Amino acid sequence: MKFKVVIPARYGATRLPGKPLRLLAGKPLVQHAFELALESGAESVVIATDDDRIRAAAEGFGAAVCMTSPQHRSGTERLAEVASRRHYAADTIVVNLQGDEPLLPPPLLRQVAEDLAAHPAASIATLCTPLTQAAQLFDPNVVKVVMDHQGYALYFSRAPIPWDRDRFALSSAQMDAKADYYRHIGLYAYRSGFLHEYVNQRPCQLEQLESLEQLRAIWYGYRIHLARASAEPEPGVDTEEDLLRVERFLRR
């Protein structure tokens, strides 16, 4: 099947300014994302940015670049502009790969695209992986998801969901080994036509409270399908400590 990858890249990250251009094993961080996207077998890979420094660096390592508005509030809005400017057909599958995921296994990009193609009732496809550590379950930086019996998302949250009423009332350090908890992996596939609908919807309160833009889709009645990731991804890069961790991983 055919799918396209767009990598939104913003210079002014709050916790790690200039993040897309920070060097990792001698390459800008965004170049690692670009190269793994090429390995996925995508029909095309585009870096979407509003910053000339990122554009110059990306063109320097051979990437296609689409300059987008600096007014976008999310990567999804940036994707929608790319889809419009590049005249993607409404049924084109577009995968949103974050530029701070240098260790994401390339097969996951194809997996999420194929999952969307296999579920015509879904407007978005994304991935999850089982959560087995209490520390992660109670970490607000780890996004959790609950699904119905068909794999469609019911809710995403930074809080521990589902809430084990009896067990968690006694200790937040205990998890029932038989219970199903899932960590959301922030890799999305969209149909181009949906992107244009999404960006014309006003942000909802849930999205703003949780700071999770996928909640806007659920709020307006769109369906999100999840598949269990075929490979366990390493965490992305948000801080200086993350850069050092990934550097050590790559050296090994």
Candidate from 24-28, 79-83, 191-195, 237-241 with smallest mean pLDDT: 237-241
CATH of the domain at 24: 3.90.550.10
Which residues is 6 bridged to in the sheet? 46, 96
Whether residue 172 lies inside any domain: the answer is no
Give, as one character, the DSSP assignment of residue 23. Answer: E
What range does the domain containing 240 cover? 4-123+184-251
Q: At 82, give phi and psi (nearest 5°).
A: -60, -45
- Residue 9 in any domain: the answer is yes
In a domain, 164, yes or no: no
Q: Based on C-alpha coordinates, what's the Rg of the chain?
A: 18
66 within domain boundaries: yes
Q: Work out whether the CA dihedral 121, 124, 126, 131 comes out positive or negative.
A: negative
Mean pLDDT calculated for residue range 123-148: 93
The better pLDDT of the pair 126, 163 is held by: 126
**Residue 21 contacts residue 28 (beta carbons within 8 Å):** yes
Q: Tell me the percentage of the chain whose pLDDT exceeds 70.
A: 98
3-class state of residue 135 by DSSP: helix
pTM of the predicted model as reported, rounded to 2 decimal places: 0.92
Residue 234 lies in a domain: yes
163 domain-assigned: no
Report the number of distinct structural domains present in the chain: 1
Closest CA to 65 of 76, 77, 51: 51
Q: What span, in angstroms and rounded, lies between the C-alpha atoms of 179 and 108? A: 25
Q: What is the tens place of the pLDDT at every residue in 72-121?
A: 888 899 999 999 999 999 999 999 999 888 999 999 999 999 999 999 99
